[in-house]
Amino acid sequence: MEVTDVRADIPFLDEVIYLDAASTTPTPQPVVDAMCEYYQHFNSNTGRGAYRTAVKATSEMEKAREKIAKLINCDAQEIIFTKNTTEAVNLVANGLKFNKGQSVVVPNIEHHSNFVPWLNLHNRGVKTKIIKSGSDGVLDVSDIEDVIDKNTKLITITHVSNSIGSIQPVEEIGELTRENNILYMVDAAQSVGHMSIDVNKINADFIAFPGHKGLLGPVGTGFLYCKKEIADALSPVNLGGGTVSDVTEDHFKLADVPARFEGGTQNISGIIGLGAAVDYINRIGMGKIEKHGRKLTKIMYDGISEIENSIVYGHPEHIYDMVGFNINGVNCHDVAKILDEQKTICVRSGMHCAIPAIRQIGAFEFGGTVRASIHYYNTEEEIKTLIDTLDEISRFLGN
Ligand SMILES: Cc1ncc(COP(=O)(O)O)c(C=O)c1O
């Protein structure tokens, strides 16, 4: 599928220049159709009824699980549905057992969703060891090596930073955790659907994913990859219907994985839509998505860098599908508002739910950064409009 084909499936893109893929992506028509089909023709609960529409709903939801598993190269039983990335991270942070004094290693460039759940473990006597990224937002594996010891239970890291777009050496860190027998978690919120992901290459025990960002799936969807060998180390945190195989008046037996982690009625239409979104991404082809993303990122990075008064964060060789920047002398929210008012350009501004990261890159005093983030549906022309409009903002208001 070409960019024009994808744009034809997303009418919203005729109304705005949408450069906020890192927050959430617009939903293509075939994904909306798959959800409507559920509501119109087999709107029943899953895993419960014996009647035909209930069986169909269950089978469609499980087909979505299989498609996702194939995309990231794992078994379907290793996919646990969640409502977003945040819930997937919390499932691990709250479901693992820690001994007093054990620690978790967390970089300071994380999104709050992969930071606060770990800080919160202080309540359970768990320490957090914070490692700093370089000024380009990239971690040095030797810094991680320096802080790990026999009490390190888990290392967690974001594959691609949401504030600066820096891509981390997740495979190398995977080797380090294996060698040292440390659990390994990756937050793939900004990488899935933007680049190929093979869980075996990353070799993480847990990977948190959104459905609603790079995969072009509906909001309210996400999932956790949980390596099957490690699933018994994780306690379910949302027990109830669907999570047990037997219950007496004083005992219950957990259901198999992943059902034990999916308490209550799921976001059935959303999950079916996510399955359709995976089909859609496959129809475009991940290779094409990556190539297009790299090309537009370079144009955007170079173009914004050339604007007088611009400050661009991150190194062009280490960023992926987004550029974080400021215009000296103009508040980042003002830049975002002007872009919208002048050219209906949608970008995110502020702290990006990553306050320690914004401090680390030196953008705190600007109130954060402006972030333009892209996906396959964006065009070179849109990026040029962004650059031209920023240039005008800089000439009138920058200093
Ligand atoms: C790196 C990263 N992690 C986690 C999240 C939280 O994602 P969600 O909104 O799916 O919970 C985001 C959202 O932008 C993110 O960029």
pLDDT of residue 100: 87
Pairing of strands 369-373, 322-327: antiparallel
What is the number of the ligand 1 atom nearest to the C-alpha of 88? 11
What is the number of the ligand 1 atom nearest to the C-alpha of 210? 10
Centre of ligand 1 from the C-alpha of residue 222, in Å: 10
Asked whether residue 136 carries a pLDDT value surpassing 90, the answer given is no
| Mutation choice for ligand 1 from 162, 192, 195, 197, CB with most ligand atoms inside 8 A | 162
What is the number of the ligand 1 atom nearest to the C-alpha of 352? 14
- Residue 187 pLDDT grade (very low, low, confident, very high; cuts 50, 70, 90): very high
What is the number of the ligand 1 atom nearest to the C-alpha of 22? 14
Q: Which CATH class is domain 285-394?
A: alpha beta
Per-residue b/e over 34-60, b at no fewer than 16 CB within 10 Å? bbebbeeebebebbeeeeeebeebbeb
Closest residue to atom 15 of ligand 1, CA basis: 189
Mean pLDDT on 55-83: 98
pLDDT of residue 134: 87
Centre of ligand 1 from the C-alpha of residue 114, in Å: 8
Q: Which of 74, 226, 332, 353 is catalytic?
A: 353
Centre of ligand 1 from the C-alpha of residue 212, in Å: 10
Sign of the CA dihedral running 63, 65, 68, 72? negative
Closest to 349 (Cα-Cα) out of 12, 13, 23, 24: 23
Percentage of the chain lying above the pLDDT 90 cut: 96
- Of 365 and 375, the one with more pLDDT: 375
Model confidence pLDDT, tens digit, residues 91-127: 999 999 999 899 999 999 999 999 999 999 999 999 9
Centre of ligand 1 from the C-alpha of residue 213, in Å: 9
Is residue 353 flagged as an active site residue? Answer: yes
pTM of the model: 0.97
CATH fit for domain 29-283, picks 3.40.47.10, 3.40.640.10, 3.40.50.2300, 2.40.37.10: 3.40.640.10
Residue 124 Cα distances to 99, 100, 106, 230, angstroms: 9, 7, 17, 21
- Binding pocket residue ranges, ligand 1, CB within 6 Å: 22-23, 84-86, 111, 113-114, 158, 162, 187, 189-190, 210, 222
| Mutation choice for ligand 1 from 23, 190, 207, CB with most ligand atoms inside 8 A | 190
Per-residue b/e over 106-122, b at no fewer than 16 CB within 10 Å? bbbbbbbbbbebbeebe
The answer to whether the CB of 244 falls within 8 A of the CB of 254 is yes
Cα 154 from Cα 38, distance rounded (Å): 40
Cα 235 from Cα 335, distance rounded (Å): 45
Centre of ligand 1 from the C-alpha of residue 112, in Å: 8
Q: What is the mean pLDDT of the chain?
A: 97
Closest to 30 (Cα-Cα) out of 381, 274, 331: 274
Residue 110 Cα distances to 2, 79, 161, 224, 332, angstroms: 33, 23, 7, 18, 20
Model confidence pLDDT, tens digit, residues 215-254: 999 999 999 999 999 999 999 999 999 999 999 999 999 9
Assigned token pair, 221? 């969807």
The answer to whether the CB of 43 falls within 8 A of the CB of 61 is no
Residue-range domain boundaries for the chain: 29-283, 285-394
Model confidence pLDDT, tens digit, residues 315-349: 999 999 999 999 999 999 999 999 999 999 999 99
The count of other CB atoms within 10 Å of the CB of residue 192 is 28
Could you give the strand order of the β-sheet that contains 369-373, starting from the edge strand earlier in sequence? 310-312, 322-327, 369-373, 348-350
